[in-house]
Structure 1
Amino acid sequence: MKRSPGARLCATAAIGALSLSLLTACSDDGAKDAGDAKGSASSAASTAASAASDAEALPKAGLEKLLLAQGEIKGYKVTSGDDTLPASKSVVKTDKEACAPLAYAMSGLAPGDTESNASNTLTEDNASAAATKSPGDISQSDIESAFKVKMTFVGLSSYEGDGAEKAFTSVSDGVAACSGGFGITAQGEKQKITKVASEQASKSGDESVAFTVDSDVDGGGTATFHTQVVRKGNTVASFYTVDFASLTSTGKSSAVPGAVVAAQVAKLK
């Protein structure tokens, strides 16, 4: 049976986030719309070369301590990325080598050459009335509210020497190199990115870049997603947001929340 536009959009959101488990959160109703955005990447001053050469990568356990924890950012629920994001780069493939760092950044994985990586998921707190009502008292409005899910996937990676600078450059260079799109295969599922465009970044950390991707929806239109990558010292943070309510109504996910970026970067050393 052919899926409805709403279901296809939700499937795209799940695959775009490279997370098959998100498929169960999708409803079967919605609309689609093509979207694109223009912007520009921004960067702050780089750290001194001597400091970069002496940098040592933090282990995974160290990065996990730097991830935002429950209670550290108001209005968000924080959960592990283990159940919603790919476990390793081995399950994420692109048909263009230059575009791999973008795919990794979109999936909470290290965009550069390092084994030190940690991730989690921040969901905007949506206190739906349905959770406190008996089944017979739940209204259509309660149900619609329950599906207003906005998630941001956060990945941290740490590098030795100038590895963080190289990782960041691979992302910023990839935005231009992959502007015409690329293909992704994640956990056996294929997805076609039809367009990549830069947009205004947060100017956080030492360097920051932001971009949007337009993702094909089963040949029935496109859905737009936002990603931001920030380098602070020898740590690179990536942020990818999926907003199901916005996707099903406009075909465009919300921008990466500035509060999430600011709070996460503030924890980095």
Structure 2
Amino acid sequence: MKRSSGARLCATAAVGALSLALITGCSSDGSKKSKGSDGSGSGSGASSSSSAPAANALTAAELEKLLLTQGEVKGYKVDSGDDTLPKSKTEVKTDKAACDPLAWATAALAPGDTDANASNTVAEDKASTATAQPEDIADAFNVDMTFVGLSSYAGDGAEKAMKAVSDGVPACSGGYGLATGGEDSKVTKVAPAKGSGLGDESVAFAEDVDMDGEGTATFHTEVVRKGNVIATFYTVNFAALGSGETAEIPAAVVQAQVAKLK
């Protein structure tokens, strides 16, 4: 992404709106990190469930009810993702089909073949510590915001989706091209990372993204399956973009969300 995209993202985030193009703009101007950075990608810290997934997929409306809501995670503010996240996979394009599930998961979209999808955002709540001083107002936006996506699948669709993500990590190790919102970016490297180990399966991976020729930034995403529902997590800190600092995927958010899944 061009550096101007990152600048527009930070400005837009301050007023509570976020377009797909600006989300991927972040991916070239900052660093992200999830809990842990070692271990294998597929099933990291978890094993596949011996029981078969539910036969029928949940609807988008049912998934909405499973998303975290305000007050369920202490110290975090929950907002609807309807106006802040991409609406369709057609808005997220890669130049390698095997890398599609990775890009979709990072955009809070279903990493597998399903139309049952819901998403929201969960951010640190620092409002109580902000004051009228400019430096404090700036600090109020120095928060980790996690994009959470839920998707549901019929039959063994969820297991297939997890396999697609797991297989995508080595298949895309050399990187891939990403086009969103009419702008292009380059993921230069994909590597397995250590995930939470929750659910029936978990896959975590790290992506290095070219910062418009000024080095690279590392982003981490985690995908967790519980039954026939998959949860994806991706965290960004707007104030830290371009600073080289990292944003961890909050363990409390992952734990609380996975606990709500059927």
Q: Report the Cα offset of residue 3 of structure 1.
A: 5.6
Secondary structure in 2 matching 1:110:
coil
Cα-to-partner distance string for 1:157-193 (whole Å, 9 max, x where unaligned):
0000000000001001111111111111112221111
Tell me whether 80-89 or 100-109 shows the greater mean CA deviation.
80-89
Q: Which runs of 5+ in 1 are unaligned?
A: none
In 1: Cα distance, 2:195 partner to 2:3 partner? 35
Q: Which runs of 5+ in 2 are unaligned?
A: none
2:63 and 2:117 in contact (8 A); partners too: yes
Q: Report the Cα offset of residue 48 of structure 1.
A: 3.5
1:228 and 1:240 in contact (8 A); partners too: yes
Residues 213 and 56 of structure 1: CA distance in aligned 2, closer, same or farther (over 3 Å): same
Q: Look up the match of 2:66.
A: 66
In 1: Cα distance, 2:254 partner to 2:21 partner? 25
Count of matched residue positions in the alignment of Structure 1 and Structure 2 = 250
Counterpart pick for 2:154 among 160, 163, 171: 160
Residues 10 and 216 of structure 1: CA distance in aligned 2, closer, same or farther (over 3 Å): farther
What does 1:150-229 correspond to in 2, within 5 Å? 150-229=144-223
In 1: Cα distance, 2:20 partner to 2:66 partner? 23
Q: Look up the match of 1:122.
A: 122
Q: Look up the match of 1:268.
A: 261
Q: Percent identity?
A: 63
In 1: Cα distance, 2:189 partner to 2:9 partner? 17
Q: Report the Cα offset of residue 226 of structure 1.
A: 1.1
Cα-to-partner distance string for 1:94-138 (whole Å, 9 max, x where unaligned):
0000000000000010000001000000111122755x43xxxx2
In 1: Cα distance, 2:229 partner to 2:115 partner? 13
Cα-to-partner distance string for 1:28-54 (whole Å, 9 max, x where unaligned):
xxx97899x5443315332336x33x5
Q: Look up the match of 1:82.
A: 82
Residues 21 and 80 of structure 1: CA distance in aligned 2, closer, same or farther (over 3 Å): farther
Counterpart pick for 1:145 among 139, 143, 155: 139
Q: Look up the match of 1:230.
A: 224
Residues 129 and 208 of structure 1: CA distance in aligned 2, closer, same or farther (over 3 Å): closer
In 2: Cα distance, 1:9 partner to 1:82 partner? 17
Q: Over aligned residues, Cα RMSD in angstroms?
A: 3.1
In 1: Cα distance, 2:129 partner to 2:64 partner? 33
In 2: Cα distance, 1:6 partner to 1:86 partner? 17
TM-score of the superposition, structure 2-length normalised?
Answer: 0.84
What does 1:223-262 correspond to in 2, within 5 Å? 223-250=217-244, 252-262=245-255
TM-score of the superposition, structure 1-length normalised?
Answer: 0.82
Secondary structure in 2 matching 1:184:
strand
AA partner of residue 182 (structure 2): G
In 2: Cα distance, 1:94 partner to 1:19 partner? 14
Structure ranking higher on relative contact order (CA contacts 8 Å, 6+ apart): 2
Q: Report the Cα offset of residue 4 of structure 1.
A: 8.3
